[in-house]
Structure 1
Amino acid sequence: MKSLFIGSASGFSGKSLTAICLGKILQEKGLKVGFFKPFGTAPCMECDAVADEDAVNIKRILNLDDPVADISPLVLTHDLMMKVYKGELTGQKQAIASAYERICKGKDIVLIGGGRTISEGRALGVPSTELIKEYDWPCLVVDRFYNKVSIDILLAYKNILKDRMKGLILNRLEDHNRNYVEKLIVPFLAKQDIEVVGLIPNDTTLSAVSVSALCTALGGEQLSAQHAGDMLVHNFVVGAMNVEQAHRRFRKRQNKAVITGGDRVDLQVAALETSTNLLILTGGISPHPMITAKAEELGVPVIVVSEDTMSVVGKIEELVGRPRMREQEKVDRALQLFRDNVDLSKLGF
């Protein structure tokens, strides 16, 4: 059986995307794939039990049979961390070992999802670096390229992982950086014995947010187009200007959400006259029945939230900065980008 640890040097760098795409591609080759995430960092409720959100999502997308509790045996809830800080947590290393043994049964390959850094788990007495050495996991590092600091961190990872670091994927690469990275950074890293196996461009579909995710994150109520929960929103426009200015701005953006006060009927009408995917009405003010009826006719969801516009914008910015791979449209797009930009032969696949 083969294994591959997928790690990073920062959060939301593309580890889940990589695990999903690799898993799908290997399944297409007829291989029995498993997924294991020792430390669950995004607690959620699944079937009345605490689980890791990534584990739940990847189990669903890859159609895995293993229980979520085995896929991610240690979910870092507040209660668990309180036990850690008080010195009351025991058996964590055995819990990981037992779950990993069960995950490995009958598999051709197991993909291991790392945390934000390879130091994760140290507070629990089971750092990822120790697990990598104990189980001799080869490592694929996935990270975003920002600047020279990124290079220093990657070189530090190479120093820690040594020959276990089998490759690097630079994800969410901006167009203005691509030539610089290809001509200078990739050859430089190669001289340091770090092989770049993929350069995945930044993509608006992958950074888009679904209507249902927005509604949940904002604590809002969806009043129309209930069927459109999986619709992806690519752009956001704040409507706080006069109608003439609004028309000009709204026409420039496609597949957008318009955020405006619940009392601004004029801007709501203007938004529905252009390519708008979602209306987010702030201040807890319900829309005029005319707006709800028009939105329903056009299939545009209307979400009413209690907070003010600027607070809503702040929450959306945070959400967009933490893209999640839930919707099928995102999975399909990620697979296309992965196939086009990652050389799996360099990883032995």
Structure 2
Amino acid sequence: MTGIYIGSTNAFAGKNITALALGLALQKQGLRVGYMKPVGALPVTVDEVVGDEDAMLLNEVLGLDAAPDDLTPVIIPRNLRATRLIKTGDCMHNIRTAYEKLSRDKDVMLVCGSGAFLHRGKHRGVDGPAIVRELGLKTILVDRFDNTLHYDAVLSIRELLGDSLLGVLFNDVPELFMRDAEEILVPYLDEQNIKVLGIIPRDPLLNAIKASELAWRLQGKIISGNAQSQRIIEDFLIGTMQVENFMTHFRRQRNSATIVGGDRTDLQLVALEGECPCLILTGNITPSELVRARSEQKGVPVIQVKDDTYTVAKNMETILASQKLRELVKIERAATLVNNVIDLTYIRSAL
């Protein structure tokens, strides 16, 4: 039985979908695949048993039936007051026990990390490197584009892991950066004996969010256009300019929600006429009856929020960057993207 740890340079890099896509691909090849996420940060209770929400989703999609507390023996809440910083019990022992149980009769065991590989779980002695050493795992590293690719972090982790690093998978790489990644970064890493397992192109759908969930995440409320609250939002733009300039900018980003001050009726109407998927009004200002009536006619949800435009825009960046895979269509799309680029033949041979 072989074990593969899937870690990442930073949080929200794409570990879950990599584990899912790899698991489905290996199952398709006839291998018996097991899965666990030793450390979780999204606690959820099922039949009085606490597990991790992401781990339970992957367990279901992979067709496995592991118990929540076996899937994720260690839960670290994001709330600092709820987190026990003082180490209690033998967390690593619990992880090893669960791993041995879940890996019985399996050909490959996928172990999915949580947060950043080097840091998450350090205060309890269950960070990524510690788990890899304890369980004797090979490692696939996922690095997500965030204005750049984090090659220095990849080099540091390679130095730490040595030959137990199978390679790195670059995720969410925009088209404008793709050529540089392929022609400069891949050959450089190859010289450092780091295999690039694939480069996943950016796909706006994977970071998309429903208008109803967006309203909840922004602590706002949908005040009109409720019938279309399930519309998908892929990006956003800010309406803080003259109408003529805004119209030109708006036409380039048709699938983006528009963030605009609640007092800018002119820009609100332009966005509605341009078929924007969602209108976000800042400053806790109720729009005019004309705007509300037009949003109902056009089927565009209007979200009213208390914060100012700058704050809402920063929150939107965070929300879209950390958006989880929940809908089946997004899971299928992400799995296809990963499988189209990942070097599965190399992974099989390396194992």
The TM tier, using the shorter chain, reads 0.7 to 0.9
**Is the contact between residue 265 and residue 288 of structure 1 (CA under 8 Å) also seen in structure 2?**
yes
Aligned sequence identity (%): 34
The letter of the residue matching 1:294 is R
The letter of the residue matching 1:83 is R
5+ long unaligned stretches in structure 1: none
Change (3 A) 1:17 1:82: closer
Change (3 A) 1:242 1:195: closer
Matched residue of 2:236: which SS?
Answer: strand
User: Which residue number in structure 1 is paired with residue 173 of structure 2?
Assistant: 173
Matched residue of 1:205: which SS?
Answer: helix
User: Which residue number in structure 1 is paired with residue 311 of structure 2?
Assistant: 311
Q: Is the deviation greater in 253-262 or in 113-122?
A: 113-122
State the Cα deviation string for residues 122-151 of structure 1 (Å, max 9, x = none). 310233323212221111111136799933
Task: Tell me, in whole angstroms, the C-alpha distance in 2 between the residues paired with 1:173 and 1:13.
Answer: 11
Q: Is the deviation greater in 272-281 or in 188-197?
A: 188-197
Question: What is the deviation of 1:178?
Answer: 2.6
**Is the contact between residue 221 and residue 305 of structure 1 (CA under 8 Å) also seen in structure 2?**
yes
User: Which residue number in structure 2 is paired with residue 10 of structure 1?
Assistant: 10
Matched residue of 2:120: which SS?
Answer: coil
User: Which residue number in structure 2 is paired with residue 110 of structure 1?
Assistant: 109
Task: Tell me, in whole angstroms, the C-alpha distance in 1 between the residues paired with 2:281 and 2:47.
Answer: 33
User: Which residue number in structure 2 is paired with residue 83 of structure 1?
Assistant: 84
Say whether residues 1:139 and 2:163 are aligned partners: no
CA RMSD of aligned residues (A): 2.9
User: Which residue number in structure 2 is paired with residue 241 of structure 1?
Assistant: 241
5+ long unaligned stretches in structure 2: none
Matched residue of 1:167: which SS?
Answer: strand
Task: Tell me, in whole angstroms, the C-alpha distance in 2 between the residues paired with 1:225 and 1:333.
Answer: 28
Matched residue of 1:83: which SS?
Answer: coil
User: Which residue number in structure 2 is paired with residue 343 of structure 1?
Assistant: 343
**Is the contact between residue 6 and residue 140 of structure 2 (CA under 8 Å) also seen in structure 1?**
yes
Q: How does 1:41-190 map to 2 (within 5 A)?
A: 41-43=41-43, 51-77=51-77, 78=79, 82-85=83-86, 87=87, 89-105=88-104, 107-115=106-114, 116-144=116-144, 150-190=150-190
Task: Tell me, in whole angstroms, the C-alpha distance in 2 between the residues paired with 1:330 and 1:156.
Answer: 32
Matched residue count: 347
Question: What is the deviation of 1:348?
Answer: 0.6
Q: How does 1:271-290 map to 2 (within 5 A)?
A: 271-290=271-290
* TM-score normalised by the chain length of structure 1: 0.86
Say whether residues 1:207 and 2:207 are aligned partners: yes
Say whether residues 1:263 and 2:300 are aligned partners: no
Question: What is the deviation of 1:255?
Answer: 1.0
Question: What is the deviation of 1:38?
Answer: 1.1
The letter of the residue matching 1:20 is L
Change (3 A) 1:102 1:342: same
**Is the contact between residue 230 and residue 327 of structure 1 (CA under 8 Å) also seen in structure 2?**
no
Task: Tell me, in whole angstroms, the C-alpha distance in 1 between the residues paired with 2:227 and 2:27.
Answer: 31
Task: Tell me, in whole angstroms, the C-alpha distance in 2 between the residues paired with 1:297 and 1:185.
Answer: 50
The letter of the residue matching 1:111 is L
Question: What is the deviation of 1:309?
Answer: 1.8
User: Which residue number in structure 1 is paired with residue 40 of structure 2?
Assistant: 40
Question: What is the deviation of 1:293?
Answer: 4.1
The letter of the residue matching 1:335 is A
Matched residue of 2:277: which SS?
Answer: strand
State the Cα deviation string for residues 165-192 of structure 1 (Å, max 9, x = none). 1121122223333333323322232232
